[in-house]
Structure 1
Amino acid sequence: MRRLKRDPMERAFLRGYQNGVHGKSQDSCPFANPNTRQNWINGWREGRADHWAGFTGISGVHRLNEMHAVG
């Protein structure tokens, strides 16, 4: 049984979140499409907020799993 790919917008958000949590710059966004770029930046902003709140390591993974289950 083949696995379906995730929604590209969700993937952009999650990649942005991961970059934000790891403290990377917003300028590192790899997307040119305005909608995909906006989702990446939204994820990056949430990731930066979680980074500042101390959600790193295991707690960060837990937070990411919660967001993925809700979305």
Structure 2
Amino acid sequence: MKRQKRDKMERAFSRGFQAGLTGRSKDECPYQSVDIKMQWLGGWREAIDGRITGLFTK
């Protein structure tokens, strides 16, 4: 059975989340497309918010 490729939007969100957890700057977003960039930034914001509130630590 073939594996389905993950959705590009889901992957962008996940990568943004990982970038936020590691403390990377939002200026390091690798995407140019507005929709995908917004997903990356959404993941980044969620991770940063989690770090600030103490849900995640480095």
When the two structures are superposed, what TM-score results if normalisation uses the length of structure 1? 0.74
Unpaired runs of 5+ residues, structure 2, are none
Q: Does structure 1 residue 4 correspond to structure 2 residue 1?
A: no
Task: Tell me the TM-score normalized by structure 2.
Answer: 0.89
Kept in 2: contact 1:23–1:51 (CA 8 A): no
Structure 1 outlier segments of 4+, above 3 Å: none
Where relative contact order (Cα < 8 A, 6+ residues apart) is larger, the structure is: 2
Aligned residues: 57
Deviations 1:19-58 (A, max 9, x none): 001110000100000000000000000011112223136x
Q: CA RMSD in A?
A: 1.2
1:1-71 alignment, distance < 5 Å: 1-54=1-54, 55-56=56-57
